[in-house]
């Protein structure tokens, strides 16, 4: 999902991407270094 919003932000602007995410009640993760803890969960770190 975040990649889709990143593409929308690149093509149409960050304001549009954030507006669509807000209307979808989706919280974007724009920090590529933040994996939400999944790397540790699956032993990748």
Q: What are phi and psi of 39, to 5 degrees?
A: -60, -45
User: What pTM was computed for the model?
Assistant: 0.73
* Residue of 38 and 2 predicted with greater confidence: 2
Instruction: Please tell me the predicted confidence (pLDDT) of residue 10.
Output: 98
**Alpha-carbon distance 9 to 36, whole Å?**
21
Instruction: Please tell me the predicted confidence (pLDDT) of residue 8.
Output: 98
What would the DSSP string read from start to end of the chain?
-HHHHHHHHHHH-HHHHHHHHHHTT------TT--TTHHHHTT--
Sorted by where each begins, the domain ranges of the chain are: 2-41
**Segment 9-45, tens digit of pLDDT:** 999 999 999 999 999 999 998 888 787 778 888 888 7
Instruction: Please tell me the predicted confidence (pLDDT) of residue 9.
Output: 97
């Amino acid at each position: 999902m975040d990649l889709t919003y990143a593409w929308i932000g690149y093509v149409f602007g960050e304001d549009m991407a954030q507006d669509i995410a807000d209307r979808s009640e989706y919280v974007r993760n724009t920090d590529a270094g933040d994996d939400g803890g999944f790397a540790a969960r699956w032993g990748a770190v």
